[in-house]
A and B are shown apart, each in its own frame.
Chain A
Amino acid sequence: TQLLEQSPQFLSIQEGENLTVYCNSSSVFSSLQWYRQEPGEGPVLLVTVVTGGEVKKLKRLTFQFGDARKDSSLHITAAQPGDTGLYLCAGGPQTGANNLFFGTGTRLTVIP
């Protein structure tokens, strides 16, 4: 099992603030995905990054894959209450492999 540690574990911020969530591992991943999960539902894929140093933007969300492909970050600008949820990173250990290792999760609450 390859561990992915996320920090912070919990985050509560006011609407309009910016935040960054980190996903770190000692293992190298061929790809890394970010999901958001709401209570009682399955995770929804936000983005997949595959190249070391890659940066992807999805509206107010910016995702970065570390140069060594061992870590990633998610930055949210001007957070909104609709961003509230559990954010999960997940790493694919090998190219072409289907299995994913999930991070420990970051529970975000955006207060109106």
Chain B
Amino acid sequence: GAVVSQHPSRVICKSGTSVKIECRSLDFQATTMFWYRQFPKQSLMLMATSNEGSKATYEQGVEKDKFLINHASLTLSTLTVTSAHPEDSSFYICSASRQETQYFGPGTRLLVL
């Protein structure tokens, strides 16, 4: 199978601080990873597409300076929420693409106080 991990699984931070979330493909290489955001009882909303070795592509309405994405290797993409505020509290999920199928990580729950 294709396994994707995320770290941390939960994080609580103070307003104004930055938080980094890691997404790793454990048993395959992924040139493309995706970052999603999910609010309670809602579906997944694509935030950005992360491409190894190049800049991420952000969806409309997603601030690229606030949600920094780095995809430095074929197995790791990171999402940094800068200057987090309470409205950034959400469930963040990444996925890694292999052979046109996306495999999802377990998610990271972020709570900004």
Q: Which residues of A line the B interface, CB within 8 A?
A: 1, 31, 33, 35, 40-45, 48, 88, 92, 96, 98-105, 107
**Chain B contacts of A44 at CB under 8 A?**
104
Q: Pull 23 A–B residue pairs with CB atoms less than 8 Å apart, ordered by A.
A: A1-B60, A31-B100, A41-B106, A41-B107, A42-B4, A42-B104, A42-B105, A43-B44, A43-B104, A45-B102, A45-B103, A48-B101, A96-B100, A98-B32, A99-B46, A100-B46, A100-B102, A102-B36, A102-B43, A102-B44, A102-B45, A104-B42, A107-B41
- Taking A99-B49, A101-B46, A102-B43 as known contacts, 12 extra A-B pairs with beta carbons closer than 8 A to each other, sorted by chain A number, are A1-B60, A40-B91, A40-B107, A41-B106, A42-B6, A42-B106, A43-B104, A45-B101, A45-B102, A96-B100, A100-B34, A100-B102
Q: Would you call B43 and A98 a contact (CB within 8 A)?
A: no
Chain B interface residues toward A at CB < 8 A: 4, 6, 32, 34, 36, 41-46, 49, 59-60, 91, 93, 95, 97, 100-107, 109
> CB-CB < 8 A to A107: which residues of B?
41
State in angstroms the CA–CA spacing of A45 and B99 once bound together. Answer: 14
Q: With CB as the reference atom, state the residue of chain B lying closest to A105.
A: B43
CA of A23 to CA of B79, assembled, Å? 30
- Our count of residue pairs bridging A and B at CB distance below 8 angstroms stands at 56
Main secondary structure of the interface of B (DSSP, over half): strand
Is A42 in contact with B107, judged by CB distance below 8 angstroms?
Answer: yes
In the complex, chain A residues whose CB is within 8 Å of the CB of B60: 1
- Cα distance A42–B102 when bound, in Å? 11
Chain B residue nearest to A43 (CB atoms) is: B104
A103, B102: Cβ atoms under 8 Å? no
Q: Output the residue of B4, B44, B109 with the most chain A CB within 10 A.
A: B44
